[in-house]
Structure 1
Amino acid sequence: MSNFNWKRIVVKVGSALIAPSKKGCSSHYLLSIAQFIVKCRARGVEVVLVSSGSVAAGTGYFAQSPNSVPLKKAMAAAGQTEMMATWDKLFDFPTAQILLTHADLRNRERYVSVKETLFELLKNGILPVVNENDTITTDKLKVGDNDNLSAMVAASVNADALIICSDVDGLYDKNPHKNDDATLIKTVTHIDATIHAMAGGATSDVGTGGMKTKIQAAEKAVSHGISTFIVNGFTDQSFNALLEGYNPGTHFQPFEVPMQEHKHWLTHTSNAQGEVVVPENFDVALDEQSEKLCSQDVVAVKGDFAVGDTILVRKKDGTKLAKAKSNYSSCLLSFLAEQDDRAFAADFENTTGPIISENNIAILEE
C-alpha cells in the first residue's frame, strides 16, 4: 500500500453484500473483500471485520417476512451462524465472533473490556468479526446500524483507516440512483452541514444503513484521527485500488489533532442518560472551568441518571454545550437545584465535590 501506511484497519460490510437475495448468505460479492483482507494481513496490516447480515441470512429459514421485532431477533439468531460460517470458509486463518450492544460500548468498563479482547485477538493473528447482537438488543440498547458501530470499533482499536463498503462508489453531490448528473466527491476535508445534506436514505432494501449513517460514521472516525473511505463493495476494482494505494471512492481526511480517547468515547460512543439544563445566558467556559458548574446554575434536571452516568449539559434554548460524567445522581442534583437556601447547596457541593470534573467532560460543537 504505497500511499497508505496502515498498521490496522476496520472493514465494514453490509447486509446487501452478505445476502443480496435475502435467502441466505452468498460468497459472490464477498470473495474480493476476503482477498483484500488476506492481502492486507500478508502485508502486516491488522484487520477487524464489522459484518452485518445475520437477519438477512436467517430470513430464508422462516416462512413469513420479518414483520415483527421478535421475528427479526429469531432470524438474527438463525442467520448469525450461517454468516460466520460463510466468512470462515473464505479464510485459511481463524476467525472470532464478537456480538455487541450499545450497552457494551457506552459503559466505560465494558468498553475497555471489548478493546482488550480485540487487541488480544489481533495479537494472536485471529480475525475479529464484529456484529451488533440483534438477538437480544432493544431500542434502548442498540447502536442501530453497523456503519456507526464500525466507527466505534475503529476508535476502540486505534485503527489507521476505516473502509465502509457501499452499493455506490462513494458520496455524491446528489443521489446517483436518481440523478444521472450526480458527481462523486473524491475528498472531504471537513464534514459540515453541506456534506450531511448530500447524504440520502438507504438505497438497499436489505440493509438499514444508507449514506446518512455512513457520514455519521465517518464523522466519528475522522475526529479520532482515522482515515475513512466509502467505496463500492460490489466491485473488486475498489479493493485493487486500495491495495495499490489509491482512493477508489470518497476519502474523508482525519483530524490533524485527534480528540483524546476518553473525550472521543464521551462524545461519540457513550449515550447521555439525562440532561442538565442551564440558563441561556450561561457563559462559563466548561472546557476550562467545568468544576465551576454548580447547582445554582441548573434550571432543570431531566432523565434518571446515577453517579458515573454520562449526561448532556445544554442551555435552555436547546444549545448543546457538553457531554460529561456526572458526579451526582439526578435525584440529588434536582434536590440541590431546588433549594432556596443557596448557602446550604453551596456548602454541600464544597464538601462533596463538583457536579462535573474537568477530566471527564467533552465539549460539543454545534
Structure 2
Amino acid sequence: MSAFREQRLPPWRRAVLKVGSSLLAADAHGLSPRHALGLAQFVSASRTQGREVVIVSSGAVAAGRTLVPRAPEAGAPMAARQALAALGQARLMALWQRFFEVPVAQVLLTHDDLRNRRRYLNARATLLELLRLGALPVVNENDTVSVDELKLGDNDNLAAIVAALVNADVLFIASDVDGLYSADPRLDPVAQPVQATLGVSPELMGFAGGAGTRSGTGGMRTKLEAAARASAAGVDTVIFNGTRQDVHRLLAEDRLLGTRIQAERSRPAARKHWLRNAPVGGALAVDAGAVEALRTRGASLLAGGVREVVGEFARGDVVEVRDAGGGAVARGLVQYAAADVRRIAGRHSRDIDLLLGYNYGESVVHRDDLVLL
C-alpha cells in the first residue's frame, strides 16, 4: 500500500523515461525483464495514444558483468568498467527490443556531445528524426569512450539533459521507492511523502539521501538534481516506483502514485528566457517577407529570406535577426556557420546540398529555436 495519494499527470505529448540499473539488474545478476515489462507496456500505451517517448536506460555495466568470468566489481579501474559497458550494451538493447514491434534505436552520448553546441544540435536532430520515423530511441552514456569518468554525472542528470534536448514536456524517473519522502522511508518509519512541489528548493534537496542499491549509481539526490535541471528547462519531473505493476498501469491512464515536481516556468518561457539572454554571435539581415513570416506565421527563417550576414559565428550560436532598417526582430540558434549562410543566402532551400555538399535541414534558424523580440 502506497503512502502517496493518486493525482493526475500533467498533459504531455513528448516524454523522457529514465530507467535505472536497480530496475533492470536486480542484485547485479544480469538483466531481468521483471520490471522492464511493465514500463514497456506504459511506453507502448503512450505511443498508441499518439505520444512520443525517449528512454534513458542504465544497465550496460551490470549486464556486462555477468558475461565474463571474474568480472571486476563496482569500484574497479575505469578501463575495466568501460569494457563491461561495451560487453553489456548489446544485451541491454536486446532487452528493450523484445518488448516493442517498432525499431529500437541505440543512441550513445558523451559529455562532449552535450557541451559542444554543434554536436549538441546534431544529437538533437538525430533524436527528433528517430521520433519522426516512429522509432523508439534508447539513450545511454557512451561509457566505452568516456574519458573524464564513467558517467556524465549519472543517468538521472543525463535524462534531464535529454528532456531539454528534445523539448520534452515531462521527465519520468522510475525509482525503486514510491517517490520522494521527507527522509529515507527504509530507515525512518515516520518519513512523510512529498506529493507535489514547485521546483526544487534547498529544503527539498535536504530530504534526499545518497546511492540506493549495489547496481545503481545514484540515489534520490541525483533524481532531485535532475529535476532541478529539468525545471530550469521548463520540464516537469515525475518520480515513481518502477517496480510496481499497478503504478505502471496508472501511468498509462495519466494517473500518478508518486511525486510530481512542477517546473517553475513553462517550457516555452524557459527557452525564450534563455534565448533572450544568451550571448549573440552575429546577426542576419532579412527581407520584409521573412520578417512577416516570422512575426505573423510563426515560420522558420529560410535561406531565401537572408540578405546579409553580419559577423562570424559557428553552427549552434545564438544570432540576432534584423530587418532592412537594422531593427532587431528575433533571436535564435543558427543551423549553419556564417561562411555557409553567406553561400546559401537568398537561395532556395533545395539548393543547400548543391551549394554546400551537405545540409542540416532547410531552415537557417528553426522556429523551435527562435524567439521574437
TM-score calculated relative to the size of structure 2: 0.68
2:202 to 193, 197, 200: 193
Q: 1:163: Cα distance to partner? A: 0.2
* Deviations 1:159-191 (CA, angstroms, capped at 9, x unpaired): 011000111011100011111111110101131
Alignment-derived partner of residue 229 in structure 2: 220
User: CA–CA distance in 1 between the matches of 2:53 and 2:109?
Assistant: 18
Whether the aligned pair in 1 keeps the contact of 2:20 and 2:175 (CA below 8 Å) is: yes
2:156 to 147, 154, 173: 147
Matching of residues 289-328 of structure 1 within 5 Å: none
CA 1:190–1:262 in structure 2 vs 1: closer, same or farther (change >3 Å)? closer
Q: Which runs of 5+ in 2 are unaligned?
A: 1-6, 279-312, 315-373
Matching of residues 1-40 of structure 1 within 5 Å: 4-40=10-46
CA 1:139–1:39 in structure 2 vs 1: closer, same or farther (change >3 Å)? same
Q: 1:141: Cα distance to partner? A: 8.5
User: CA–CA distance in 1 between the matches of 2:105 and 2:199?
Assistant: 35
Q: 1:202: Cα distance to partner? A: 0.9
1:65 to 54, 69, 72: 72
Q: 1:76: Cα distance to partner? A: 0.3
1:248 to 246, 254, 257: 257
The answer on 1:260 being equivalent to 2:262 is no
Alignment-derived partner of residue 111 in structure 1: 120
Matching of residues 79-94 of structure 1 within 5 Å: 79-94=88-103
Q: Give the secondary-structure state (helix, strand or coil) at the position aligned to 1:150.
A: helix
Whether the aligned pair in 1 keeps the contact of 2:78 and 2:149 (CA below 8 Å) is: no
Q: Give the secondary-structure state (helix, strand or coil) at the position aligned to 1:90.
A: coil
TM-score calculated relative to the size of structure 1: 0.70
User: CA–CA distance in 2 between the matches of 1:177 and 1:73?
Assistant: 32
User: CA–CA distance in 2 between the matches of 1:144 and 1:26?
Assistant: 25
How many correspondences in the alignment? Answer: 268
Alignment-derived partner of residue 123 in structure 1: 132
Q: 1:262: Cα distance to partner? A: 8.4
Whether the aligned pair in 2 keeps the contact of 1:23 and 1:58 (CA below 8 Å) is: no
Q: 1:260: Cα distance to partner? A: 2.3
Q: 1:4: Cα distance to partner? A: 3.6
User: CA–CA distance in 2 between the matches of 1:140 and 1:163?
Assistant: 25
User: CA–CA distance in 2 between the matches of 1:16 and 1:141?
Assistant: 17
One-letter amino acid of the structure 2 residue matched with residue 72 of structure 1: R
One-letter amino acid of the structure 1 residue matched with residue 213 of structure 2: S
Identity, % of aligned positions: 44
CA 1:3–1:103 in structure 2 vs 1: closer, same or farther (change >3 Å)? closer
The answer on 1:78 being equivalent to 2:87 is yes
Whether the aligned pair in 2 keeps the contact of 1:224 and 1:261 (CA below 8 Å) is: no
Whether the aligned pair in 2 keeps the contact of 1:225 and 1:254 (CA below 8 Å) is: yes
Q: Give the secondary-structure state (helix, strand or coil) at the position aligned to 1:144.
A: coil
One-letter amino acid of the structure 2 residue matched with residue 102 of structure 1: H
* Deviations 1:257-294 (CA, angstroms, capped at 9, x unpaired): 44226839x99xxxxxxxxxxxxxxxxxxxxxxxxxxx
User: CA–CA distance in 1 between the matches of 2:8 and 2:201?
Assistant: 30
Whether the aligned pair in 1 keeps the contact of 2:164 and 2:233 (CA below 8 Å) is: yes
CA 1:240–1:141 in structure 2 vs 1: closer, same or farther (change >3 Å)? closer
Matching of residues 272-287 of structure 1 within 5 Å: none
CA 1:121–1:90 in structure 2 vs 1: closer, same or farther (change >3 Å)? same
One-letter amino acid of the structure 2 residue matched with residue 260 of structure 1: R
1:232 to 229, 234, 241: 241
CA 1:19–1:104 in structure 2 vs 1: closer, same or farther (change >3 Å)? same
Q: 1:27: Cα distance to partner? A: 0.5
Between 1:223-232 and 1:117-126, the stretch displaced more is 223-232
Whether the aligned pair in 2 keeps the contact of 1:102 and 1:141 (CA below 8 Å) is: no
* Deviations 1:19-63 (CA, angstroms, capped at 9, x unpaired): 113232111111100100000000001000000010011101231
User: CA–CA distance in 2 between the matches of 1:58 and 1:244?
Assistant: 35
Q: 1:231: Cα distance to partner? A: 0.5
Whether the aligned pair in 1 keeps the contact of 2:156 and 2:223 (CA below 8 Å) is: yes
Whether the aligned pair in 2 keeps the contact of 1:18 and 1:57 (CA below 8 Å) is: no
Whether the aligned pair in 2 keeps the contact of 1:174 and 1:198 (CA below 8 Å) is: yes
User: CA–CA distance in 2 between the matches of 1:236 and 1:28?
Assistant: 10
2:54 to 48, 55, 75: 48
Matching of residues 163-178 of structure 1 within 5 Å: 163-178=172-187
